[in-house]
Amino acid sequence: MTTSPASPAKAVDRQLPSEEARELLALTRDLVQRELLPRAAEDEAAGRFPREVFRTLGEAGLLSLPYEERHGGGDQPYEVYLQVLEELASGWLAIGLGVSVHTLSCHALATFGTDEQRDRWLPGMLSGAQLGAYCLSEPQSGSDAAALRTRAHLDGEDYVVNGTKAWITHGGRADFYSALVRTGEEGSRGISCLLVPGDQEGLSAAPPEQKMGMKSSPTAQLHFDGVRVPRERLIGTEGQGFQIALGALDSGRLGIAACAIGVARAALDLAVEYAGTRRQFGRPIADFQGLSFMLADMATQIEAGRALYLAAARRRDAGLAFSKEAAMAKLFCTDAAMRVTTDAVQVLGGYGYTQDFPAERFMREAKVLQIVEGTNQIQRLVIGRHLTKS
């Protein structure tokens, strides 16, 4: 038995900065209803990767929103981009998170690349014809990213890369990889960033991980076996890779926060709908105080999470430091999503534990958001360090 399709999430009363932004959100909601909701449950159950959906989003301009228009971007502030992500994730997390990962994979080139590099490669990356992946984690270095071992050495005009990357979203399916590799000494100062074509000889992917959720989003190890990457594909300078990675992660954490609120919204809307139609003791169960209080708490957590990620996004848009705020948003929103989706299963009772309704899928999907882009324990560490530094 497969999960029945979810209903469209209820529209959010948003405060958007422009008419263009309102049109973007309306376009996104239309695409969610036409392209995502009708197939999400079936594709998740079958573990199918919806590559063509990303092409559709690219053609609609939704894969390039926060980047400059001259390179094919949408020139939208993060405040708008993140709300688009929320809408996508409310329909299908594999798509919302996939767009976030693609945006993250373009960050290094867009932010640290030379003008020549950006003019040459960024338009193709933002067009929708290509899909990207971000390669930082390894089998033995996750939270301790500075301990990565994948090594690259210069041989003439090429870097030769050997090693293994792990937990790569779109691993084996991406057209390009922003890969963090070791080119120098141990520790954070010896790391550099390479833009690696997905079809490069010597690059291969292991079979996708068998995950408890997000089955339509392939996650796999990547093996670099003597992969030659032209020196011109070094982003930034040698030894700058860790700085590039941290900058990308701050922005990526906001993407995960927005996705978490999208999943939580879908779960809340399902719970409210069910509670309004399910009758016990002669009246809808939503009339019972204990359950209505649960729904109220779920809604409040969603509103608080959205306010937190938008506050961080507005700091980013204003050119202010936002690392602490990004960690707070990622921490709060993903923990909230886990609570809200768990409560949605409870509201549906026995039906919530079956695949007849998408509540159980939302709950399984929410769990991964507490882990990716830095576990929530790491977010607490980041926040604590900001609070105590002089």
Query: What residues are annotated to the active site?
Result: 373
What is the Cα–Cα distance from 307 to 347, expressed in whole angstroms? Answer: 25
Residue type, 387: L
Sign for the pseudo-dihedral over CA of 268, 365, 325, 105: negative
Q: Which long-range contacts (CB under 8 A, 24 or more apart) does 14-23 make?
A: 14/83, 16/80, 16/83, 17/77, 17/79, 17/80, 18/80, 20/76, 21/76, 21/80, 21/83
Residue type, 278: R
Give the residue from 236, 248, 250 showing the smallest Cα distance to 321.
Answer: 250
Specify whether the CB–CB gap between 331 and 323 falls below 8 A.
no
Residue with tokens 């301009």: 61
Give the residue from 97, 5, 2 showing the smallest Cα distance to 368.
Answer: 97
